[in-house]
Amino acid sequence: MFEVFIQLCGGIGLFLLGMTLMTDSLKDIAGESLRQWLGRFTGSPLKAMSSGIIFTLIVQSSTATTLATIGFVSAGILTFAQSVGVIIGANIGTTSTGWMVALLGVKFSIGQFALPMIALGALLKILAQGRAALTGLVIAGFGLLFFGIELLQVAMSGLSDRIDLSVFTTESFFSKLLLVMIGLVMTVILQSSSAAITATITALASQVIQLEQALLLVIGENIGTVATAVLAAIGANSNAQRTAAVHVSFNIMSAIFAFFVLYPLFLWLYPRSGWLSSWDAVVIVAAFHTAFSLCGAVLLMPFIDQFKQFLTKLIPSDEDCLIQSLDESSLSVPAVAIANAEHVIFQIIWQQYRWFIEAFKDGKLVAANQLKQQDELIKKLKEYLTKISVPENTEEQKNLLALLRIMVYLNVLRSDLEQLFYSLDIRTQPSLYQVALDFGEILGNYWHAAADLSMDEKNRLLHDELIFLENWTKQHHAELREKINQYAASHHSGAARILELLAAHRWLDRLIAHSQRFVNVLCEKEIRTDKVTDDLRA
């Protein structure tokens, strides 16, 4: 009995290890594509649902899709309305694991193929780099997954002779509910509905449990998958919490429909329908899992607008959610984490430029408490960036390096804000004041919101104008200094006042130069590690 238990634990462990290895590698391969895909193909509820199905089929994890969606909503890349369809699609897409196990895992002896797959994957990981190395991890993950299923089959066949599960009958309502709860607990403990469903299908194939018990376990296992989403939404902003609420609501509603309608319908049709009775019991379980997810989508999609309005009222908006955007749950998907960090960085820099422009136009200086709040956010952002782990030679690595370059200028602009009081001196000197107003007008022509900082075409045009302004100030540097001296003389200013105006002039020149270099970073596509060092020296 102890040997069977060890095999059972080992089989589940290998399956989980293989699934994690495969899913994480597929996420790394498709991470940036995911960000672009979800941003582009979620315009309508049907498109959003299709995107959720397709991406979950690719990475073989509804949890990965759900966490990515919560992260993108938190970062403002997806709206809450777009996320509803993606979550529904993810729940449909995750049923593919059941089909894979039912049609391949328990139908054929795949253990002999699993070990060569692990070996091939390991060789690719060791000898190759970039996407090829990640592909090796995917292959090794598949091999571990199938080898785990093989061990589960062996353990379950031994378990069927030693354990009688007839005590878990399906005759009464409460006994059925008990099986649903067992399925839910299995998923929460294993932290994977795929692993729980695989164990259920393997147990059914080994005749440890009956079809009726398997169907009820699957219902509970599908509910249990919401645990990760709920944990990810704790501390997140309101839109992310609403997205998690969609996941919970959809799974519970689908489970209720499956329990009261689909479960008795399948059991009634199975012995009476010729085409259904010809199917193997494990295929019936996979079909049942897919059917109740599809039925849940059919039930919810017509009322999606009313559902969004209800959740919007139920979970009110947050006033400040930038720090909440940097939730550590999104670190599991590097593309999501990078998108979150980019969103926060652009919001901070946009606020910094608003303070500069307000000081030049209205003479309004930023309050000390506002600077303190921003410093706390910058500290949190730096900690978050250090925790982002990306594979080498990937698109995510390039994007992370680009963010690190932008962070250099975020810190530079924050240092420039320390001397924002010079803006008051500039307002008293007409020639400098005109340069400052021109600088603010140029920025205002192209940047109207934080999102504009990611607009390539606008940034290229803005860069050209900032270069022109920087060159003009260099060419007229001596002339501007002379005007300052003339202004000071006409107003009988002392030496200290003249030095203060000259320092304000130098500060304005630095601000324009820093802005030009920052926008140049936004315009550049190819990011090299040595450029980060160049920025630090600038």
Look at the block and give the residue holding tokens 């609403």. 242
What are the structure tokens assigned to 451, written together?
């999102």
Q: Where are the alpha helices (DSSP H) in 128-237?
A: 130-159, 173-190, 193-205, 211-224, 226-233
Backbone angles phi, psi at 49, to 5 degrees: -65, -40
Residue 209: what pLDDT?
Answer: 85
Whether 193 and 225 have beta carbons less than 8 Å apart is answered as yes
Residue 442: what pLDDT?
Answer: 95
- What are the distances in angstroms from CA 7 to CA 2, 3, 14, 190? 9, 6, 10, 16
Residue 61: count of CB within 10 angstroms of its CB:
28
Whether 147 and 19 have beta carbons less than 8 Å apart is answered as no
* Domain residue spans of the chain: 2-314, 334-537
Residue 43: what pLDDT?
Answer: 66
Q: How far apart are CA 508 and CA 510, in angstroms?
A: 5
What are the structure tokens assigned to 56, written together?
């979950």
Residue 282: count of CB within 10 angstroms of its CB:
23
> Helices 226-233 and 238-257, interaxial angle, to 10°?
160
Mapped to the 3 state alphabet, what secondary structure does 74-104 carry?
Answer: HHCCCCHHHHHHHHHHHHHHCCHHHHHHHHH
Residue 87: what pLDDT?
Answer: 83
Helix (H, G, I), strand (E, B) or coil at 172: coil
- The DSSP secondary-structure symbol of 13 reads H
Element (H, E) at 376: helix 368-386
Whether 412 and 514 have beta carbons less than 8 Å apart is answered as yes
| pTM over cut 0.75 | no
Hey, what CATH topology would domain 334-537 get?
A: Methane Monooxygenase Hydroxylase; Chain G, domain 1 (1.20.58)
> Helices 130-159 and 2-40, interaxial angle, to 10°?
140
Helix (H, G, I), strand (E, B) or coil at 10: helix
What is the mean pLDDT of each successive set of 10 residues along the chain, which is 538 residues long?
74 79 71 62 75 78 72 69 82 83 66 81 86 85 80 66 59 88 84 79 83 91 81 67 83 91 89 76 89 87 82 71 71 81 92 95 92 92 90 79 93 95 90 92 91 89 94 90 82 81 92 95 63 51
Mapped to the 3 state alphabet, what secondary structure does 390-449 carry?
Answer: CCCCCHHHHHHHHHHHHHHHHHHHHHHHCCCCHHHHHHCCHHHHHHHHHHHHHHHHHCCC
Residue 528: what pLDDT?
Answer: 43
For residue 71, how far is the Cα from the chain centroid? 4
CA-closest candidate to residue 57, choices 96, 18, 25: 96
